[in-house]
Amino acid sequence: MEQITQPLIPAPTESADLEYEVPREGVGRNVVIDAYLATRSLPPLMDRKRFSNEVRAWAGALGRQAWIGDKYAPVVRTLLAQPAVAEVDRGLLDGVEEACTTYAGPLSRYSLGWVISLDVWQPDDLPLHVSTLYRESARSAAVAVRRDMTDPPAEPLPARDSSLAVPPCVIGSEELVTEFLDDQTPRSDYDTQRAMNAYVTKLRRDHDAKRDLLERDESDEMSAVIERAIVDFGAVPDEQFPPEQLKRFELAAEIKVNEIFDDQLARYAETSPAENVDETRRRLVVECLRVLKKDARAGHDHTGESAAESPEEELARLGRVLDGVERGAWTKANQVRADLEDRDRRRRNSTAKVRHRRTRGVTYASELLARAAERIDADPDLRIDGRPSWEAATAKAMLQRRQVAARFDPDDLRELIGRKWNAKTPKNTGLSDEDEAVTEVLLVMLTQIGRAERDIRAERGPTEKAAES
């Protein structure tokens, strides 16, 4: 890992004339933005769809600034702020074009550039469901930087040894934005710290939430990235729980796993490799930790700060919280064992000579997606108050309509999920924003597709399995 660097806005180039038609009913700002985007070239690692969304976000932020109305016209300010408003006057639309070319576009190159800067922290050769966690953390960091640039927080930014004063709103006046576009370095320390803090916060949160879906080496590697970002580079994540409280949770989880599952694990060890037993134990602890954290977030007191409660009493109370976890945790452990045994079978069969034959790939794909959709219904962890969560229902609908197969490009899938999230206020979900929604739905689909594939392989045996590959 290396220190991330501040992205810099390239020198402006001569603008090409934008081409778009203005019908009798007029056009809104997004038509102008699309025409602007058609004339832009981007760095190789900058996603064009994300850049388009970033320009729209900056256009909206500029539309909230009074000086934009003074510089161009009040109608131009309204057009920037409200994409549904249409205009036929070419002169006013030229004002929107100039605001995008002069301000929104270059500002987007800077804020979205933090995704490229943070790419140096993502390990190479990762499976899609793991690399998605890193990418979404980098995108979350870019959003955090933009929000601080447009709506500076009231409190100083936490840093390793102190805190950093919050710079003024970059677009608070024409003079401020011009100064920034000329020289971004005065914001370097603040924005670098903000990007690191947001990246590590989201990556650690996703790691904790999805740790039972990661292989041990994937989990260990992600933990190492988080630790190095904090220790070596000074990232300061937002803490959901104080370190002392997390240590108590971990101790209570270890005790409960030993208390409940020792006999089952001992029997499992009689017929399975030691590494599989260790991995099953680790996943059981992860599940117990998840239950404790969920209970604490629901408002139950796990601080252990009561003067009348000894450490032993507190651990006993935490243990009582976990009393109902046995069935669910062991069910998950059964899936872990099945996964490990399937992995061992694949290793044994990798050297076997298998006869390949043609199969109908479309039929297999249909069965795979249908199985994955059925698995979503059967997974109790994808329910809230007994009903499927929004993310589970969305993933199931996309699998049933074969939108996963038709839109195999992850960026296309992200865009589709984002539109579903923004179409109306989602219900029955613990998610808070579009980025979380995209990550969660993708992970639900990828996880259930992988498990459905293992089911099919186990049923058909090695010869038929090879034929489908």
Sign of CA dihedral 389, 394, 397, 398: negative
Kindly state whether residues 49 and 162 are assigned to the same domain: yes
Mean pLDDT, residues 282-288? 73
Q: Is 346 in the same domain as 461?
A: no
Res 149: pLDDT: 96
Q: Give yes or no: residues 342 and 431 share one domain.
A: no
Residue 108 in this model has a pLDDT that exceeds 90:
yes
User: Do 78 and 226 sit in the same domain of this protein?
Assistant: yes
Q: Which is nearest to 194 in space by CA: 118, 263, 100, 95?
A: 118
Are residue 82 and residue 190 in the same domain, yes or no? yes
Tokens 């001992």 correspond to 266
Cα separation, 427 vs 444, whole angstroms: 17
Question: What's the average model confidence in pLDDT over 253-280?
Answer: 74
Q: What pLDDT is attached to residue 258?
A: 77
pLDDT at 142 over 70: yes
CA-wise closest residue to 53 among 414, 442, 430, 432: 414
Q: Quick check: 59 and 43 in contact, CB under 8 A? A: no
Q: What number is the average pLDDT over the span 150-164?
A: 88
Query: What per-residue confidence (pLDDT) applies to 370?
Result: 83
Of 198, 231, 264, the last residue of a domain is: 231
Do residues 194 and 312 share a domain?
no
If asked whether residues 300 and 416 sit together in one domain, one would say no
The pairs formed by 63-69 with CB atoms below 8 angstroms and a separation of 24 or more are 65/171, 65/172, 65/173, 67/173, 67/174, 68/99
The reported pLDDT for the residue numbered 191 is: 96
Average pLDDT of the residues in 50-71: 94
Which residues in 68-79 are b (16+ Cβ under 10 Å) and which e? bbeebeebbbbb
Give the model's confidence band at 259: pLDDT under 50 very low, under 70 low, under 90 confident, else very high.
Answer: confident
Tens digits of residue pLDDT in 406-459: 444 556 677 788 878 877 777 778 777 777 788 788 888 878 887 887 777 777
- Return the pLDDT at 355: 32
Mean pLDDT value of segment 387-404: 80
Residues 344, 360: one domain? no
Most confident of 189-198, 273-282, 306-315, 397-406: 189-198
Asked whether the beta carbons of 33 and 56 are under 8 A apart, the reply is yes
Q: Residue 88: which domain range? A: 29-231
If you average pLDDT over residues 295-302, what whole number do you get?
56
Q: Which residue has the higher pLDDT, 414 or 58?
A: 58
- Tell me: pLDDT of 264 over 60: yes
Q: Say whether 157 sits in a helix, a strand or coil.
A: strand
**Which has the minimum average pLDDT: 160-164, 217-221, 299-303, 393-397?**
299-303
- Choosing from 231, 262, 287, the residue where a domain stops is 231
Predicted local confidence at residue 318, as pLDDT: 53
Residues 107, 215 share a domain? yes
pLDDT band at 62 (very low <50, low <70, confident <90, very high): very high
Residue 401 pLDDT greater than 60, yes or no = yes
pLDDT value at 183 more than 90: yes
- Residue pair 152/167 in contact (Cβ under 8 Å)? The answer is yes
Q: Measured between alpha carbons, how far is 219 from 208 in angstroms, rounded to an integer?
A: 9
Higher pLDDT, 317 or 5: 5
Residue 188 domain-assigned?
A: yes
pLDDT for residue 351: 40
Name the range with the highest mean pLDDT among 131-145, 245-259, 331-345, 436-450.
Answer: 131-145
Q: Which band of pLDDT confidence, cut at 50, 70 and 90, is reported for residue 115?
A: very high
Given a cut of 90, whether residue 256 has pLDDT beyond it is: no
Q: Both 208 and 72 in a single domain?
A: yes
Assess if residue 21 is contained within a domain: no
Evaluate whether residue 2 is within a structural domain. Answer: no
pTM: 0.60
Domain count, the chain: 3
Instruction: Give a yes or no: residue 3 inside a domain.
Output: no
Q: What is the pLDDT of residue 294?
A: 67
Q: Are 47 and 411 in contact (CB under 8 A)?
A: yes
Report yes or no on 13 lying in a domain. no
Q: Does residue 103 surpass a pLDDT of 90? A: yes
Evaluate if residue 336 carries a pLDDT over 60.
Answer: no
Q: Are residues 365 and 455 in the same domain?
A: yes
Rg (CA), the chain: 26
Tens-digit pLDDT profile for residues 367-386: 778 888 888 888 877 888 77
Percent of all residues in the chain with a pLDDT value above 90, rounded to a whole number: 35
Domain contains 370 = yes
The values of phi and psi at residue 387, to 5°, are -115, 150
For the segment 105-119, the average pLDDT, to the nearest whole number, is: 95
Q: Which of 351, 380, 396 is the last residue of a domain?
A: 351
- Average pLDDT over every residue of 14-36: 89
* pLDDT exceeds cutoff 80 at 321: no
Has residue 7 been placed in a domain?
no
Same domain, 85 and 209: yes
Measured from the Cβ of residue 384, the count of other Cβ atoms closer than 10 Å reads 14
**Residue 301: pLDDT band by 50, 70, 90 thresholds?**
very low
Predicted confidence band at 160 (pLDDT cuts at 50, 70, 90)?
Answer: confident
Over residues 123-152, mean pLDDT: 91
Residue 16 pLDDT > 60: yes
pLDDT of residue 116: 93
Residues 177, 213: contact at Cβ < 8 Å? no
Q: How confident is the model at residue 302 (pLDDT cuts 50, 70, 90)?
A: very low
Find the mean pLDDT for residues 272-291. Answer: 73
Residue 5, domain member (yes or no): no
Joined together, the tokens standing for residue 459 give 């049923």
Question: 79, 114, 113, 109: which is closest to 94 by C-alpha?
Answer: 79
